[in-house]
């Protein structure tokens, strides 16, 4: 994090497992506004640090990272010098929720969340306390804030974590509009995520809203009927079944992407990976945060089910036959990673990183590997995996 002119001191803890170049790029990026030009709500500027971290996670050399850097369009605006945004001192620990969604207080939020971490005896407790307030905007900006937070936590620097939380704070909008409904039958066992979507398919819901895929999904987040069918009826996510439901939901997210590769379905996967990463890290600290983690996953599932409806609630999602599995298993992850590192496309790099992480860290679902291969095939001469 680069502080305002009120405080020129630079605090940055380099990640020892990352190269000096990666650390330097991540530190320098803190000076730039995460939105496109710092004015619109577009997030292209925000892609830069996420792609650098993805490349690092995919084993990129410094030369490969420099090659990406040289190809990056410089749509970044400096927070202070270009946009004249400075820490006003107005936002405090006592009143910060009153300023959520106000982009002019970005520097205030950066300072607030950094100082909050510095003062906290328990970093996880502080982070989860902030997320309890920010969770209502979980899907905002196609989940870019939560994706950025995952990478910041992965790196470990408090300034980067503060930057990510500040980005989430200025993008804040309550997308759910109400408390989530409680389970109808507390004694019942949850059906699977696949069974739940089959029920949605059978109901054939009609969308009465109009707009692009992103806009419709954001509007559906506040639909009370969608809330009820997603998390209160026969399918539910609890503190006891988080790990199981994560794998089920991941299978739905990657299947929906393969059914219709698009910007929204791609971000369904990359945001799933980010939330899974945060969840796994928090759970290593104990079980005390399971109720809040379950609520975060409920909110993600509501959004994903809305996306499933927007995509026409298909009865079945793509599968892999024996020939496809044989082809897939003959390709090493190292070769996939090496290939995508040469592709100067931010979403492709991030998607392959997410699929590789999910396959290795969460669930060896072959659909993750198939998706990574097919992303690579979109940009190279690699043959795609044939889907059934």
User: Tens digits of per-residue pLDDT, 239-285?
Assistant: 999 999 999 999 999 999 999 999 999 999 999 999 999 999 999 99
Which of the four pLDDT bands, split at 50, 70 and 90, describes residue 299? very high
Distance from C-alpha of 186 to C-alpha of 126, rounded to nearest angstrom: 30
Radius of gyration for the alpha carbons in the chain, expressed in angstroms and rounded: 21
- Tokens standing for 352? 């392959």
| Higher pLDDT among residues 73 and 33, named by residue | 33
**Are residues 197 and 266 both part of a single domain?**
yes
**Residue 116 within any structural domain of the chain:** yes
For residues 203 and 302, membership in a common domain is answered with yes
Q: Is 184 helix (H, G, I), strand (E, B) or coil?
A: coil
- In a domain? residue 359: yes
Where is pLDDT greater, at 32 or 126?
126
pLDDT given at position 230: 86
Asked if 295 and 209 sit in the same domain, the reply is yes
Query: Domain range for residue 240?
Result: 193-310
- Both tokens assigned to 144: 């870019």
One domain for residues 203 and 286: yes
**Chain mean position to CA 86:** 27
What is residue 7's predicted lDDT score, i.e. its pLDDT?
44
> Which of 310, 340, 356 corresponds to the end of one domain?
310
Assess whether pLDDT exceeds 60 at residue 23.
Answer: yes
pLDDT above 90 (res 214) = no
* 331 and 304 within one domain: no
Q: What local confidence, expressed as pLDDT, does residue 8 receive?
A: 42
End-to-end CA distance of the chain: give it in Å, rounded. 47
Q: What integer is the mean pLDDT of 82-96?
A: 95
Residue 272: which H helix or E strand, with range? helix 263-283
Residue 206: phi and psi, rounded to 5, are: -100, 135
The stretch 333-360 carries a mean pLDDT of: 98
Instruction: Mention every residue, 6+ apart, whose C-beta is less than 8 A from residue 382.
Output: 339, 373, 376
Confidence of residue 4 (pLDDT cuts 50, 70, 90): very low
Position 5 pLDDT exceeds 70 = no
Mean pLDDT score, 290-303: 96
Average pLDDT over residues 146-158: 96
Total count of domains within the chain: 3
With tokens 């889907």, the residue in question is 387
Look at residue 184 in the predicted model and tell me its pLDDT. 67
Residue 206 and residue 144 in one domain: no
* Final residue belonging to a domain, choices 139, 170, 201: 170
* 303 in the same domain as 337: no
Q: Are residues 50 and 158 in the same domain?
A: yes
Tokens of 259: 């059914």
For the ranges 18-27, 29-38, 123-132, which has the lowest average pLDDT? 29-38
Q: How far is CA 37 from CA 3, 77, 167, 214, 350, in A?
A: 19, 5, 14, 21, 22
pLDDT, tens digit, 9 for 90 and up, residues 325-344: 999 999 999 999 999 999 99
The residue ranking higher by pLDDT, 70 or 7, is 70
Q: Is 387 within a domain?
A: no
372 located within any domain: yes
Q: Concatenated DSSP letters for 240-260?
A: SSHHHHHHHHHHHHHHHHHHS
Q: Is residue 8 part of a domain?
A: no
Distance of alpha carbon 367 from alpha carbon 315, whole angstroms: 18
Whether residue 212 lies inside any domain: the answer is yes
**Do 75 and 145 belong to one domain?**
yes
Provide the β-strand partners of residue 32.
Answer: 78
What pLDDT was estimated at residue 83? 87
DSSP 140: T
pLDDT tens readout for residues 279-295: 999 999 989 999 999 99
The residues near 359 (Cβ < 8 Å, ≥ 6 apart) are: 333, 365, 368, 369, 372
- What share of the chain in percent tops pLDDT 90? 75
Residues 44 and 165 in one domain: yes
Please give the residue that has the higher pLDDT: either 232 or 249.
Answer: 249
pLDDT (mean) for 23-34: 90
Tokens of 248: 């089920």
- Residue 74, pLDDT > 90, answer no
Q: How far is CA 85 from the centre of its chain?
A: 26
Would 350 be classed as within a structural domain? yes
Same domain, 145 and 60: yes
Examine the domain organization and report whether 336 and 235 are in the same domain: no
21, 65 Cβ separation under 8 angstroms:
yes
Upper half-sphere CA count for residue 225 (Cβ side, 13 Å): 10
Residue 37 has pLDDT above 70, yes or no: no
**Which is more confident, 226 or 100?**
100
In this structure, are residues 298 and 245 in contact, taking their beta carbons and an 8 Å threshold? no
Q: What is the pLDDT of residue 43?
A: 60
Residue ending a domain, among 289, 310, 331, is 310
Question: Per the domain annotation, does 388 fall within a domain?
Answer: no
d(CA 328, CA 248): 21
């Amino acid at each position: 994090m680069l502080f305002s002119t009120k405080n020129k001191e630079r605090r940055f803890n380099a990640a020892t497992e990352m190269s000096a170049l990666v650390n330097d790029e991540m530190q320098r990026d803190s000076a730039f506004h995460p939105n496109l030009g710092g004015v619109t709500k577009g997030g292209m500027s925000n892609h830069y640090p996420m792609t650098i971290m993805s490349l690092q996670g995919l084993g990129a050399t410094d030369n490969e990272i420099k090659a990406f850097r040289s190809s990056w369009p410089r749509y970044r605006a400096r927070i202070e010098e270009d946009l004249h945004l400075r820490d006003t001192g107005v936002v405090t620990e006592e009143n910060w929720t009153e300023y959520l969604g106000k982009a002019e207080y970005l520097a205030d939020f950066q300072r607030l969340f950094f100082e909050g971490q510095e003062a906290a005896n328990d970093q996880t407790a502080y982070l989860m306390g902030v997320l309890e307030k920010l969770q209502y905007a979980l899907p905002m900006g196609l989940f870019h804030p939560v994706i950025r937070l995952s990478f910041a936590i992965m790196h470990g620097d408090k300034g980067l974590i503060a930057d990510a939380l500040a980005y989430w704070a200025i993008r804040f909008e309550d997308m759910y509009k109400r408390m989530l409904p409680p389970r109808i039958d507390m004694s019942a066992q949850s059906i699977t995520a696949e069974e739940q979507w089959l029920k949605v398919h059978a109901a054939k819901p009609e969308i009465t809203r109009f707009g692009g895929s992103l806009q419709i999904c954001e509007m559906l987040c506040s639909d009370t009927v969608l809330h009820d069918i997603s998390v209160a009826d026969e399918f539910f996510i609890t503190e006891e079944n988080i790990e199981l439901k994560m794998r089920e939901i991941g299978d739905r997210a990657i299947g929906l992407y393969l059914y219709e590769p698009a910007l929204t379905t791609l971000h369904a996967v990359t945001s799933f990976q980010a939330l899974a990463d945060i969840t796994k890290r928090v759970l290593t600290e104990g079980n005390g945060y399971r109720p809040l983690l379950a609520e975060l996953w409920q909110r993600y599932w509501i959004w994903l089910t809305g996306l499933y409806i927007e995509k026409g609630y298909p009865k079945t999602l793509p599968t892999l036959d024996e020939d496809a599995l044989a082809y897939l298993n003959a390709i090493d992850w190292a070769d996939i990673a090496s290939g995508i590192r040469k592709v100067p496309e931010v979403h492709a790099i991030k998607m392959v990183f997410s699929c590789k992480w999910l396959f290795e860290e969460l669930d060896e679902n072959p659909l993750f590997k198939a998706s990574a291969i097919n992303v690579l095939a979109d940009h190279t001469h690699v043959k795609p995996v044939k889907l059934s």
